[in-house]
Structure 1
């Protein structure tokens, strides 16, 4: 697998593979996001997911992939503070605002900053047509957030703080996407980076979740078995969601992979409609179509 990844990097085959990987990551990210729709305290659910990520990734890191060498350890160490701040922002935003409003703002802010960062770090250039696609996609995402906000019945008093945190978290998405793309490109074996990333970058929130659990009123604590089952399912999804988009950034443009990943808002709405039996309506369908069109324009305009 490693040899194949390296052989198609920067080729037309690599471009097509990156497209499929980014879109698959979008579907998985939407599924991952649906797990956090107000069921369990976001701090505890994230801690459970990260616990399983470490448990499942550690044997692979130790016994399957080559170990990092030299400066690769420093690149991996750099992921911990960046992702820690990102997860803090996300947890605070989800605590203060409705998921259906906060999630689109986070995902809509991310690609704008990522495309700019990819231009500065990797010297990637978007065409005018691609920037039009970004504008369409982001407009659709923020439109979904506005639509959900207008139909919100609870939690309006803390929504302003939640939205500011969502924009900050979106900026952190761009920072970690750009940094991780740089790190995986400078690690000889991409699977070495991925395996050790899931170990190193996920050591923090299990501790935070445990401390938060201990401080909670026993009557308000969620069922630990349910939390751990949710965490295991979320970890399995996260392996694909994050791993696929990182491989896409290794194979092709970082900015395009980041934009295509944010079609997750479309898939999240579809999951809500098909699985959670939520009402979609013509306005949401139109906004979802706008996001999809934007992604197509980005892809075709390159």
Structure 2
């Protein structure tokens, strides 16, 4: 682990580091598309998130306790902040998924997040973006949000519930920007990035298992725990690639660019639905997917 940390530290601020960061952000995007679909599956989103976090704690505890150096006092304080920020994010996502369809919630969250993150990165990390890159951000966020509008037009659920879902989804997008920016700052403060990641996954997974258990005990028709646990284990493994990938990317390269590339997860989500689930995409959605991908390319190449 020490050799890996040393190698990774050597990538910071280099051209190779920028390429590795782009690859990590894209891997994170693919993983997050699957992760989002898992939480908004056939199970209650609160229970699914609780199952994911239970397995995250189980998987991450031995890594945090025995394989990486323990965090120093400064990093430990930052991890407390990360815990509360991530809890609010998870809360907004569960509330959004509870009230509106995944196809509406997910694009709204992913469409609003990158623009706010780029602004925050400019203020916090003094990152600068060219006019061409801002155009790429507009293309990416605009394409994602237009997909949400298309999906919203097909929504048949109660209108008031959908409006609440959209409100929570917008809050979720804001929290994506907050946790991405604060997480990037925190992982840069940690002497060993893998120390931060291991403890991040461990401590941020200690809240929703209790909420999910409380909710499960009060259900009249309780779902079978076998399938729920299987989904939770898969989600925990995917989370290491989804959240871990983008945080490592922000350690060695620009926060804003990593955040934008990660939001191509919407394209991967649509491709999964089209190619694997045999869902109808249609020419307009394909055009928006191309626009999102084009926006990410412009941001990456326009600096």
TM-score, normalised relative to structure 2: 0.97
Instruction: Tell me the residue number matched to 1:287.
Output: 288
Q: Does 1:50 align with 2:53?
A: yes
128-137 or 34-43: bigger deviation: 34-43
Instruction: Tell me the residue number matched to 2:100.
Output: 97
Check the 8 A contact 1:98/1:155 in 2, yes or no.
no
Check the 8 A contact 1:75/1:183 in 2, yes or no.
yes
Instruction: Tell me the residue number matched to 1:238.
Output: 239
Q: Equivalents in 1 of 2:232, 2:14: separation in Å?
A: 37
Q: Equivalents in 2 of 1:84, 1:8: separation in Å?
A: 31
Q: Equivalents in 2 of 1:95, 1:66: separation in Å?
A: 39
Check the 8 A contact 2:51/2:228 in 1, yes or no.
yes
CA drift of 1:55 comes to 0.4
Q: Equivalents in 2 of 1:100, 1:221: separation in Å?
A: 26
Check the 8 A contact 2:46/2:211 in 1, yes or no.
yes
Moved over 4 A (4+): none
Q: Does 1:41 align with 2:65?
A: no
Q: Equivalents in 1 of 2:159, 2:129: separation in Å?
A: 37
Could you report, residue by residue, the CA deviation over 1:158-187 in whole angstroms, capped at 9, with x for unpaired residues? Answer: 111111111111000100000000000000
Q: Does 1:70 align with 2:81?
A: no
Q: Does 1:133 align with 2:136?
A: yes
Check the 8 A contact 2:37/2:102 in 1, yes or no.
no
Out of 215, 218, 226, the position equivalent to 1:215 is 218
Q: Equivalents in 2 of 1:285, 1:123: separation in Å?
A: 35
Check the 8 A contact 1:18/1:249 in 2, yes or no.
yes
CA drift of 1:37 comes to 3.3
Q: Structure 1 unaligned runs (5+)?
A: none
Q: Equivalents in 1 of 2:94, 2:35: separation in Å?
A: 14
Instruction: Tell me the residue number matched to 1:229.
Output: 230
Instruction: Tell me the residue number matched to 1:296.
Output: 297
Q: Secondary structure at the match of 1:152?
A: coil
Q: Equivalents in 1 of 2:137, 2:226: separation in Å?
A: 42
CA drift of 1:206 comes to 0.4
Q: Structure 2 unaligned runs (5+)?
A: none
Instruction: Tell me the residue number matched to 1:180.
Output: 183
Aligned pair count reads: 300
Q: Equivalents in 2 of 1:279, 1:37: separation in Å?
A: 19
CA drift of 1:199 comes to 0.9
Aligned-residue CA RMSD in angstroms?
A: 0.8
Instruction: Tell me the residue number matched to 2:254.
Output: 253
Q: Does 1:115 align with 2:103?
A: no
Instruction: Tell me the residue number matched to 1:162.
Output: 165
